[in-house]
Chain A
């Protein structure tokens, strides 16, 4: 056999396998993402990567986020709210089974919620469950949740990945072997490399269209680019190099999905540390910032300017960007009024994401124009949490707040930017007590206006959800209302 004939043989073999796979639509998919989950229990860690793999795919809650951010019924098919707003009675779907074959009943719901709000709970979002006074099993498909005060946001809170329903019999091994109720079952995890999910044939709802899903973890942006280009991965969720997206968009093999996330990216100011305890100084910083220049320079044009801590795609959003429009002259005037005609020097501490590192350089230059000098320090996340978040040792920092509808963090006095005025706390208390949608909307708008008026932080832009996928993949989420890669409706076009 000559070399040429071997080549020919190999070639026809390749052609054969190619035609074989062409014959029927693909039913497996490889999804790339940057961060690997530390473990697989969404109810005991903050890591968004856990939800990115498991939310809606493997684990489900009583309610769930839809692709547009609205709240849909999940394991609960319906719920009734008592007239005083204190009791929620959830009616569960009958016949739901966990992946290990055991039944999902009201007992499991009680276990999950009680575990999340227990004294020794390790739930990273324990505050979501703070208002729950009691969880009672009425019958196997009915659960009664009693609140200590009315909370109109309960169905929203229960949609979070931190509120998914887990079973007492599988909780021991959940970090390595997650057992949920979703349309996909966990199959295998090669740490540092990939996680495999397979279709759950016994799923209670609409079955998944794919048979097999592989999540591959590729942290380096250059490697991410190469993996998509070489078609080693079919989808890259949360593509880390926006500078390359134009190249994918121009290539017919790929589609680029640009949506929005719940990530309000802000230039946070230490409201209790001089000179940022002065409203005029904070206003000056807000006017010194050219949002579009930051979006163009740091995010290659992807992102929506915001004027307050609220997602622009939310129906209750108020566009307040004009209130802090880019106006260096006004910024200088405000600084002079505040007694800093010659400017001042402060710290600008930057966590690792590129929005912070790239954005930080641009913001430093913009602040310099109005006389504010910044000393930039690059920090790792662990250092940032220790120094900035916990230690409150900073003047300015840039961070994206990725939790959905998290304006209530402004009610926390000890939160790192140290706002928490009595007026804002009163607003949030009103919000919790309100169940009427129109009233809730009014309160949320008032809250947005209050923090913009107080220029608590400089509001930069809403982080875009950027994904690249093979042109034939359909059914992917474009927006990211929560950190999730919901693949239950994804399939390959013929």
Chain B
């Protein structure tokens, strides 16, 4: 197990190094100067020069790359060009929205997908299965931002049960925070739940045709008992993979939903930073996201080992 973890850690570090080079290069080649964006159309050349100097935009590319990576190694993600506050603090503020939103959406999606997938697999080919599969087709096909707008029309403008958007803030209490994240979480969760239901169902159906299920049935377990005790556990590996991928997606990929509900999340921060050419924010936030995704994958790898003893034994 230890060697397994060490090997995984090493590949984690190499991935991060490569990612830092790619991110820095990609962001720096984009045309557009942060100083002229900030000072606008009437700026005098000497004013622009003064600002560029203060932002440290005059150093060479290599110097700036090393400065950036060196800073990150010491936990310093730089200071935003436009907001003039440390990037680390901005990310922490945004994560206070994005992370709970991702967890909320993931919880909803698994809470829907597990029972629906198991129920459909147990009724393979019958009416219930067909209905669940039809619903998931719809869930995968419907764009989440459109569904979000529809929910706003019904639940915010029509029924007034929820605000049309915005985030109340955790200082107003857990309930207020969750309340304002509910519509966005549902909008994010439904397509994910549809995908996860389909994966759950097909993984279970595969497992149900294995020899050990026949053996379990032969020793007297009912179909339901065999499914719960033996098939479910074996079907979890592909499901875990999808959950890991979905979590990464939900954390970084909620940009559109954050826009529809004007939530101050990470996606919106990146979006604003790109248009303002706040390069240091883009670089550092993307780097933090890459780190997050790699760590989630690492955790999923460890979870495989926990679920599947063969993975532990092999090393």
Contact = CB atoms under 8 A, between A and B. Distances in A.
Point out which of B85, B164, B259, B272 has the most chain A C-beta atoms below 10 A from its C-beta.
B164
B240 interface: no
A123 interface: yes
A368 interface: no
Contacts of B128: none
B50 A229 contact: no
B232 to A, nearest CB: 34
Given A38-B83, A122-B50, A232 B44 contact: no
B293 interface: no
A325 interface: no
Contacts of B156: 226, 229-230, 232
A217 interface: yes
Interface residues of B, number: 50
B163 A230 contact: yes
B271 to A, nearest CB: 9
B51 interface: yes
A386 B157 contact: no
B42 A127 contact: yes
Interface in A212-231: 216-220, 222-223, 226-227, 229-230
B44 A390 contact: no
A386 B164 contact: no
Interface in B240-264: 259-264
Interface in A166-203: 175-176, 190-194
A126 B44 contact: yes
Contacts of B7: none
Contacts of A119: 46, 50
B264 A192 contact: yes
Contacts of A382: 31-34, 36-37, 275-277
A208 B259 CA distance: 33
Nearest to B153: A226
Given A218-B262, A230-B164, A386-B32, 15 more contacts: A39-B83, A119-B46, A122-B50, A124-B42, A190-B264, A191-B85, A193-B166, A193-B264, A218-B165, A229-B157, A230-B156, A380-B275, A385-B37, A386-B33, A406-B42
19 contacts: A121-B47, A123-B47, A126-B44, A126-B46, A176-B84, A190-B264, A192-B93, A192-B264, A193-B262, A193-B263, A223-B262, A226-B152, A226-B156, A229-B164, A382-B277, A386-B36, A403-B41, A403-B42, A406-B42
Interface of B: 31-34, 36-44, 46-47, 50-51, 54, 82-85, 90, 93-94, 149, 152-153, 156-157, 160, 163-167, 169, 259-265, 268-269, 272, 275-277
